[in-house]
Amino acid sequence: MSGSLRLLLAALCLAAALALIAGAGLPERTRANAVVPYTSQAMPVAPEVGALAPPVDGWTVAGKQFSLAALHGSPVIINFWATWCGPCLSEMPLLQSAYIAHRARGLHIVGIDNGEAPAAVLAWQAQFGLTYDLVIDRDGSLASLYRVRGLPSTYFVGRDGLIKRIVYGPLDVASLEATLRELEATS
């Protein structure tokens, strides 16, 4: 088979595939990534902007029970991190400052550690003077549920329980404050 005939056949196959996709459509991302069974009447629960945030339940390193569902009606920042993560190091003071500045308006922050020993997380908490909740994801199930791509990963959840923004990688002051103002204004 000649090279030009192969090229023509490849182009025809590509055109047919594109026509099939255009005709059938692609599934909506939040529905396709739903982490609980999805019905047409329900809002998708997925680690996606516009979907309900997946549940987070566990114990803080301080021994307090934590449940994201209990915070419904409040803006929440969910931050996946680890003590060995360099960018997480730069983020912790930002998150702590944001927590202090916005907690009177209902802001909650939960830092979800990547399965490290409680002693290491407690030492990190003391080193940075962190006063927001820290939960250890012992078996990686929360990171899997949120489809964490790398550390740090941060999910901003509105008062309505919907994910408003996701940041993969370190936060910076300007975008953190802008997102918090948006959460407080719209949710």
Give the number of other Cβ atoms within 10 Å of residue 119's Cβ: 9
pLDDT in tens, 31-84: 656 666 555 557 889 999 999 999 999 999 999 999 999 999 999 999 999 999
| pLDDT of residue 2 exceeding 90 | no
| pLDDT of residue 149 exceeding 80 | yes
Q: For residue 34, what pLDDT is reported? A: 67
Structure tokens, 139: 């078996």
d(CA 109, CA 140): 19
Predicted TM-score of the model (pTM): 0.82
How many residues make up the chain in this entry?
187
Q: For residue 24, what pLDDT is reported? A: 67
Number of H-type helices and E-type strands within the chain: 6, 7
Q: Which of 19-23, 30-34, 55-59, 108-112 has the lowest mean pLDDT?
A: 30-34
Alpha carbon of 39 to those of 27, 53, 155: distances in Å? Answer: 14, 16, 24
Q: For residue 3, what pLDDT is reported? A: 78
